[in-house]
Each structure stands twice: as structure tokens, then as C-alpha cells.
């Protein structure tokens, strides 16, 4: 029965030849629902970089947890984890494939360049890395890259891939889920290990063998439990972290990891102990542009060593060999004239992180006063 209440207007003069499809409001609703589901299916894009480490290693047998060697690529690692097709879309790249003891400045800068290029095109970044020097790489990346809201998640393992109850596959799966989770945005560099989410700036490896190998007293952020990401605090980055801008010039438009060679100033670390030789300190200082000493207690060294240090012209950071605590400026030896010396307190930074921070300061050609200001961020200076 015709409905005389409907007026049809058309630009076609031949009304009889014109064809129309009248859609009900229910059809419109279904179409919108399908469109909404399509939008909902849009998954975050995650970039995964492989660098090697125990997580990419094989042992002689399933019971061996030592004496293993790096042998797996990032592609092979991804084949061992649970299905993530409903979690995110991934793209992966092998930057290097080495034990983390072999990570050098060239490797660090390749990681830096890869992460920098991926920030513009991905919602999260995951980096597989050996645990032995992971704390140094995470500290370096946090100190040199402003990632905005994009989470950068480092992950490793304590057991090789061939071990009974290998922890690598689950750690990697969790790291990808953490990088893809909206709750991780705005938190900077993170570490996913042993169901725990930690701040990369603060982590320190404190056990050479245990699965629970990292101490993160200041940077314990949350947990991953049964496919759920739980954070205990709202998003925040380390306020004490000084950001350095590295001027790297790309040499290949198609490969962001190729850049102009850059060398950092040489900074050595000496370990303080009873009868530490003052002459050893003097000798080492001749071969570097900066020096870090892991002192006894909170800045304590033999008087003869302090006298030699005060004679040197290079910046020297007094750190600590103890795991916790800090070196305050009040404990630094002073010149007889009362003037500020070349010695800098590390605050709560351990020797290896103090080395990286001093190296970056020297790379930027900071003077002593500027270096002290940077270390003040870590409650030293």
C-alpha cells in the first residue's frame, strides 16, 4: 500500500527507471555495529628487536643452565610463544645476536637508532636482551630517548631455550602483551621478567642464577598475572633521569640502524678494596677521560688513594660497591684549600650506571659544574 507521506526527490527525470533501496533503521543499526566491530578489531602495532642473550640460547641438554650459547633468531623465538594474533600486530628485526657481555657502543647505538625510528610508526617496542648487562642498556636508552607515550619493553631470561621450564617464551609473551597494553603508555623504558614489570632506569641484576634475578626497590611498577597487566601507580617516568640528545646522522635512508660512526669518551671503573693501590688509580687515569670508583661504604677509600684522586685532572665519580644506599656529597674528600675538587658523588647510582652517565656528560662536553648538576638528579653531585 503506497505511503503518501513520503516525498521522493531525485535528479533523474525518469522516475519509473530510477531504482531505490529503502533501508530500515534496524539495517542502519546493524551496519554501524559491523563498522564498530571493525574498528574494535584494529590492534596495536608492536615492533620487536632481537639482540640475543640467554633467551636466544641453547644448552647441551635440557638440564643444563650454564655453558650455553646464543643460537636462536628473533623469528625462532616468536615461533615458541603463545598465539598473539588477538593481542597485536607485530613486526620484528634482528639488530644483533650476541651474549649481552658483548654489547658494545656500536650495539648500543644500533639499538638506539632502531628504537628512535620505530617510535613514529609503532604503538609499542619490545627488545630481547641478555640479563647480564640489561640494566646498562635500559639506563642508556632511558637517558637518551624521549619515547613520549610509547612503551619500550626489554625482556630476557635466566634459562636457555633448551632448559626444562625455560622462562624465555613466557617472558617474551608477557613483554609483548605489556607493550600492547594501553596502561603501559607514558611509562618510558620497562623491563618484563619473572611476571614482574619494572622501570628500566632503576633495575639492577642482583642474583647471577635465580629466576628472580633483579632488584627493583625503587622501580617495582606492577605484575603480569593470567594475561592481565596490573600497575600499582599511574603512568610516570623517572623524574631524576637527565635526557641527553645524541646527534646521530643517518647514512642510509632505507636502514635506520646505519649511521655516522660515533665514539664515546673512555670511562673506566675501579673496584675499591683494602690495600687498593694509589698507583693503580694513577695508572688507569692515564688511559681514560673519566673514572668511576666503587668505594667501600658510602664513599670511603684509603687516604692515600684520596690524595692521588685529588691530584688528577679528570672527573672521578665515587660510587659504591654495596647494592643499596647512596654516596652523598658530604662524604667526598676535600682539597685543603676548601675548593670543589674533581670528585663527584654518584648518589644512588651504582658503578656501571655512573659510568654511562659520566660518559654521556663527557660526550656532551659538560664541565665539572654541569656534571655535578646532572648527578644531583640521582641525589649525588
Residues noted as catalytic: 54, 131
For residues 141 and 265, what is the distance between their CA atoms, to the nearest angstrom? Answer: 17
How many residues are present in the chain?
A: 381
Number of H helices, E strands in the chain: 9, 16
Residue 190, φ and ψ in degrees, nearest 5: -120, 165
* Segment (H or E) for 275: none
328 exposed, middle or buried (CB, 10 Å; 0-12, 13-18, 19+)? middle
In the β-sheet with 343-345, what is the strand arrangement from edge to edge?
Answer: 267-271, 290-295, 316-320, 343-345
Question: DSSP class of residue 54?
Answer: G
Instruction: Outline where 264-350 has alpha helix (H).
Output: 278-285, 303-311
For residues 171 and 157, what is the distance between their CA atoms, to the nearest angstrom? Answer: 7
For residues 155 and 15, what is the distance between their CA atoms, to the nearest angstrom? Answer: 68
Contact in structure between 33 and 41 (CB atoms under 8 Å): no
* Segment (H or E) for 3: none
Contact in structure between 65 and 163 (CB atoms under 8 Å): yes
Q: Three-class SS of residue 163?
A: coil
For residues 119 and 123, what is the distance between their CA atoms, to the nearest angstrom? Answer: 7
Q: Which residues are annotated as a binding site?
A: 100, 131-132
In the β-sheet with 89-98, what is the strand arrangement from edge to edge?
Answer: 89-98, 45-52, 124-128, 152-155, 189-193, 196-199, 220-225, 228-231
Question: CB atoms < 10 A from the CB of 336, how many?
Answer: 6
Q: Which residues are annotated as a binding site for substrate?
A: 100, 131-132
Amino acid at each position: 500500500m503506497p505511503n503518501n507521506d513520503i516525498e521522493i526527490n531525485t535528479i533523474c527525470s525518469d522516475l519509473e527507471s530510477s531504482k531505490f533501496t529503502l533501508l530500515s533503521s534496524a539495517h542502519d543499526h546493524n551496519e554501524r555495529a559491523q563498522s564498530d566491530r571493525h574498528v574494535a578489531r584494529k590492534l596495536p602495532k608492536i615492533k620487536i628487536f632481537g639482540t640475543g642473550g640467554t633467551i636466544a640460547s641453547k644448552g647441551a641438554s635440557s638440564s643444563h643452565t650454564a655453558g650455553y650459547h646464543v643460537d636462536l633468531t628473533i623469528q625462532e623465538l616468536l615461533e615458541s610463544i603463545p598465539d598473539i594474533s588477538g593481542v597485536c600486530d607485530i613486526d620484528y628485526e634482528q639488530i644483533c645476536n650476541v651474549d649481552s657481555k658483548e654489547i658494545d657502543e656500536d650495539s648500543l647505538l644500533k639499538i638506539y637508532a632502531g628504537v628512535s625510528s620505530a617510535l613514529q610508526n609503532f604503538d609499542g617496542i619490545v627488545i630481547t636482551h641478555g640479563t647480564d648487562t640489561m640494566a646498562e642498556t635500559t639506563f642508556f636508552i632511558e637517558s637518551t630517548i624521549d619515547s613520549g607515550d610509547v612503551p619500550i619493553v626489554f625482556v630476557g631470561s635466566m634459562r636457555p631455550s633448551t632448559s626444562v621450564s625455560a622462562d624465555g617464551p613466557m617472558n617474551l609473551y608477557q613483554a609483548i602483551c605489556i607493550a600492547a597494553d594501553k596502561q603501559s603508555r607514558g611509562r618510558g623504558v620497562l623491563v618484563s621478567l619473572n611476571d614482574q614489570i619494572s622501570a628500566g632506569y632503576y633495575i639492577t641484576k642482583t642474583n647471577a642464577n635465580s629466576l628472580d634475578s633483579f632488584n627493583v626497590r625503587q622501580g617495582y611498577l606492577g605484575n603480569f598475572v593470567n594475561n592481565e597487566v596490573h600497575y600499582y601507580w599511574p603512568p610516570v617516568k623517572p623524574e631524576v633521569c637527565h635526557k641527553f640528545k645524541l646527534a646521530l646522522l643517518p647514512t642510509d635512508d632505507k636502514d635506520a640502524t646505519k649511521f655516522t660512526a660515533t665514539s664515546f669518551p673512555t670511562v673506566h671503573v675501579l673496584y675499591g678494596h683494602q690495600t687498593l693501590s694509589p698507583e693503580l688509580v694513577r695508572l688507569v687515569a692515564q688511559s681514560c677521560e673519566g673514572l668511576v670508583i666503587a668505594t667501600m661504604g658510602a664513599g670511603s677509600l684509603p687516604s692515600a688513594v684520596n690524595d692521588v684522586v685529588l691530584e688528577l685532572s679528570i672527573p672521578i665519580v665515587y660510587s659504591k660497591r654495596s647494592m643499596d644506599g647512596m654516596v652523598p656529597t658530604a662524604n667526598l674528600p676535600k682539597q685543603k684549600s676548601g675548593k670543589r675538587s674533581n670528585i663527584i658523588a654518584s648518589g644512588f647510582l651504582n658503578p656501571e650506571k655512573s659510568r654511562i652517565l659520566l660518559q654521556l656528560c663527557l660526550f656532551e662536553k659538560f664541565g665539572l659544574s654541569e656534571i655535578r648538576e646532572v648527578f644531583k638528579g640521582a641525589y649525588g653531585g
